[in-house]
Amino acid sequence: MFPSISSTQFLLLYLVLLFVPSPTVAFRWQVCSTSAGNFTANSTYESNLNLLLSSLVSNGSAPGFFTDTVGRIPDQVQGIVLCRGDTNPTTCGSCLSNVTVEILRLCAYNKDAVVWEEECLLRFSNLQFLNTLDNDPTAALPNPIQVSDEADRFNKVVNELLDSTADWAAYNSTKRYATGQAFNVTQAVPTIYGLAQCTPDMSTSDCRQCLKGVLQGLPQRRMGARNQGVRCNIRFEVTRFYEGTPIIWLLSPLTNATTPAENATAPPSAPAAHPAVGPTGKEGKDAPLAQLIN
């Protein structure tokens, strides 16, 4: 866990890093709200914000999730951080440390802002957003490359994979996190990787409903896409982007194939099968789930 730092120390750190080139990150996206208004330098809101960001970094790196509120209305500021479920405390803490600096640079003096990076997200606001499970703001971001071959089949497997992965994240994981992998998708794209995650304070039903919403808004027929919010997110790619063994394995026989695909990836030895995940699933199960889809 990172040591706690004072508001003054955090401000000094920010001023130093502000003039240092940002480290290269694989992904970054921000939403800087103008409707919530702006704050001014040396204001009470800025002081509360610095205290909040310090708290989010020091308390959020080990568990990978933390919320906090600092100050009183009208200068009250609320915040939330969430790290991707496969990160360790060091990786999570590094991402949070960076994103706290970047959010002040990218959304300078905005009272409401969110920044997503590859391994974490941070939102702060003068709005009482922690009192709700609202997933806004969201950002649906597609890979620029469209699927050209067997697009309908590709899309079907993506939806099957993400739907199963979302079920597991909501009903069978106390972390509200799951990953999946589909094999023998198409001749051109033999493997797809998927991920679904909610904030761990959400109930099973609230998490699944949130994931349903981002799944419905996910760009289609692309070689990868993500739809991310503050409370939940979903993603798929044709290359591996997460650590660890996937929980969901979808085995999909190739259709209209007289010979095996040249690039086909053989699935690992099938794990012991488990009943399909769903509302009756028991939380905390970590054994992989193998499914066969047509």
Q: Given a cut of 50, is residue 96 above it in pLDDT?
A: yes
| Reported confidence tier of residue 5, pLDDT bands at 50, 70, 90 | very low
Residue 112 has what pLDDT? 98
Q: Is the pLDDT of residue 118 over 90?
A: yes
What is the pLDDT, as a whole number, of residue 128? 94
pLDDT at 269: 47
The string of pLDDT tens digits covering residues 209-233 is: 999 999 999 999 999 999 999 999 9
Give the whole-number percent of the chain exceeding pLDDT 90.
71
Structural domain boundaries in the chain: 7-132, 141-292
Q: What is the pLDDT of residue 160?
A: 95
| Sheet arrangement for strand 28-38 | 28-38, 110-117, 120-125, 77-83, 65-70
Q: Thinking of the domain 141-292, which architecture would CATH place it in?
A: 2-Layer Sandwich (3.30)
- pLDDT tens-digit map of 235-252: 999 999 999 999 999 987
Q: What is the pTM of this model?
A: 0.81
User: What angle in degrees, to the nearest 10, is found between the helix axes of 44-60 and 7-18?
Assistant: 90
**pLDDT for the residue numbered 253:** 64
Q: What percent of the chain has pLDDT over 70?
A: 77
Strands 232-237, 248-251: pairing kind: unpaired
Q: What is the per-residue pLDDT across 192-213, written as a single tens digit (0 to 9) for each? A: 999 999 999 999 999 999 999 9
Cβ neighbours of residue 77 under 8 Å, at least 6 residues apart?
A: 45, 48, 49, 52, 69, 70, 71, 111, 124, 125, 126
Higher pLDDT: 18 or 132? It is 132
Q: What pLDDT sits at residue 197?
A: 99
Second-level CATH architecture of 7-132: 2-Layer Sandwich (3.30)
CB 85 within 8 A of CB 197: yes
Q: Which two tokens stand for residue 274?
A: 């488990």
| Band of pLDDT at residue 126, cut at 50, 70 and 90 | very high
Ramachandran class of 284: left when φ > 0, alpha when ψ lies in -120 to 50, beta otherwise: left
**Does the pLDDT value for residue 127 go beyond 60?**
yes
Which of these ranges, 142-156, 217-231, 256-270, has the smallest mean pLDDT?
256-270
pLDDT digits (tens, 9 = 90+) for 8-65: 433 333 333 333 333 445 689 999 998 999 999 999 999 999 999 999 999 999 999 9
> What pLDDT shows up at residue 280?
40
Residue 157: is its pLDDT beyond 50?
yes
Q: Do 141-292 and 7-132 have the same topology in CATH?
A: yes
- 65-80 pLDDT tens trace: 999 999 999 999 999 9
Say yes or no to pLDDT of 265 above 70: no
3-state secondary structure of 41: coil
End-to-end CA distance of the chain: 46
* pLDDT of amino acid 184: 85
Q: What is the mean pLDDT of residues 173-185?
A: 95
